[in-house]
């Protein structure tokens, strides 16, 4: 066991403060000179003072850090306000470039055109045997930073030569509530669209229906591998709920 603690400093200082009077009062009895005992007492006093100074400095540093943070937050807001004002003035002036040059700030950069929506792939389906509805899910890795993509769903029934517009979904899912019982297969395509920009049409997804022994129906999906040529269509605003905005009743 150590004679006295060296860490933490608070414990060491407490030990010294307890023993300083012992060493001074009994110096001769414990082999110390009066000068050695007083020197220890002075060193203890200085250690206490320096530790207190350090604690005060730490608290002052915390306060100073808070003040700096507050000041820079205020300064950041002020810089934003003056830059917005200068830009508004520049854009309404006859020579915006001259205003920006005098203010020594760059003019606003032109927005980078966003790429078109990604091609939908990996269609999966869920058949509701009670309602008779077919829910489509697909994947589409749209470019980072883009939003507002809607999806056009088209369908082709047996005997039809062209895909017909079925509906639009604001999510990567769509519920076909208009598919009547009867056909052994049906084909779908999905195409992303954002504003007036269309993405590539998905491969043709072929949904094949089968009958279960108990009289129910099952469905599987495969890809025909080809992509039909289609014209872009003007979209209604997406509902965002995954159901069709327009359906063929």
What would the pLDDT profile of 192-230 be if each residue is shown by its tens digit? 998 888 999 999 999 888 776 666 667 787 765 554 444
Query: DSSP letters of 168-202?
Result: EESSSEEEE--PPS--SEEEEEEEEEETTEEEEEP
More confident residue, 6 or 49: 49
Instruction: Report percent pLDDT > 90 for the chain.
Output: 57
Task: Describe the crossing of helices 34-91 and 96-103 by its angle, rounded to 10 degrees.
Answer: 170
Q: Return the pLDDT at 215.
A: 63
**Among 2-16, 37-51, 66-80, where is mean pLDDT lowest?**
2-16
What would the pLDDT profile of 90-145 be if each residue is shown by its tens digit? 999 999 999 999 999 999 888 778 889 999 999 988 888 777 788 999 999 988 88
């Amino acid at each position: 066991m150590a004679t006295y603690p060296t860490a933490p400093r608070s414990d060491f200082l407490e030990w010294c403060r307890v023993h300083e009077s012992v060493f001074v009062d009994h110096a001769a009895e414990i082999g110390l000179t009066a000068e050695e005992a007083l020197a220890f007492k002075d060193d203890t006093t200085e250690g206490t003072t320096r530790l207190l100074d350090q604690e005060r400095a730490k608290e002052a540093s915390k306060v100073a850090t808070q003040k700096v943070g507050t000041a820079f937050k205020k300064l950041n807001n002020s810089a934003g306000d003056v830059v917005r004002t200068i830009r508004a003035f520049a854009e309404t002036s006859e020579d915006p470039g001259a205003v920006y040059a005098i203010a020594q700030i760059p003019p606003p950069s032109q927005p980078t055109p966003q790429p078109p929506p990604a091609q939908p792939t990996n269609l999966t389906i869920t058949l509701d045997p009670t309602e008779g509805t077919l829910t489509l899910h697909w994947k589409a890795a749209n470019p980072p930073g883009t939003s507002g993509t809607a999806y056009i769903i088209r369908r082709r029934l047996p005997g039809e030569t062209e895909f017909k517009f079925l509906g639009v979904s604001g999510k990567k899912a769509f519920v076909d509530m208009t598919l009547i019982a009867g056909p052994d297969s049906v084909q779908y395509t999905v195409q992303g669209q954002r504003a007036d920009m269309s993405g590539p049409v998905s491969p043709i997804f072929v949904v094949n229906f089968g009958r279960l022994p108990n009289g129910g129906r099952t469905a599987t999906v495969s890809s025909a591998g080809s992509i039909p040529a289609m014209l872009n269509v003007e979209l209604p605003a997406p509902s965002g709920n995954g159901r069709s905005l327009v359906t063929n009743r």
